[in-house]
Amino acid sequence: MSNTKTTKAKANKDLIASPEPKKAAKKKTTTAKSLPDDIIGSNVPVTAPKEPAKASSNRKVTVAIYSTKNVVWEGVGKVEKGYNIVPKAEADKWLTRNHVRLATPEEVAREYGA
């Protein structure tokens, strides 16, 4: 140890020191536990499967309309040239325009080959 020389840094007025770094937050660890049949599991809670949504109560009424040009109407929506499927409330607004008309189910079926 006689060969080692230790020196202490001298305080300097012109030296700008950075603040001490903050301690890192402790990480949450997951604890593994054994389950039946030698399966390793974690403490993540098991969620119950969601029930399927009822189609009849959540179904929105839609209407087929035909537009002769592409138009964007702020607050209402957008239609493209041809057949468009829109909610009934939007269709009522679009039908006030002269380039949009109501499309029959037969027209839409013929267009899409159904």
Average pLDDT of the chain?
77
Q: How confident is the model at residue 4 (pLDDT cuts 50, 70, 90)?
A: low
* Domain annotation covers residue 86: yes
Q: Which domain holds residue 71?
A: 60-112
Between 30 and 96, the more confident residue is 96
Domain membership flag for residue 11: no
Domain contains 53: no
The structure's pTM equals: 0.48
Task: Answer yes or no: is 7 within a domain.
Answer: no
| pLDDT higher than threshold 70 for residue 54 | no
- C-alpha distances (whole Å) from 82 to each of 24, 62, 74, 109 are 60, 16, 20, 13
Side chain identity at residue 76, one-letter code: V
Evaluate whether residue 17 is within a structural domain.
no
Establish if 65 belongs to a structural domain.
yes
In three-state secondary structure terms, 59 is: coil
In a domain, 50, yes or no: no
Q: How far apart are CA 24 and CA 103, in angstroms?
A: 64
pLDDT of residue 45: 61
Confidence label for 17 from pLDDT (cuts 50, 70 and 90): confident
pLDDT one-digit tens code per residue, 79-93: 999 999 999 999 999
Domain count for the chain: 1
Higher pLDDT, 111 or 67: 67
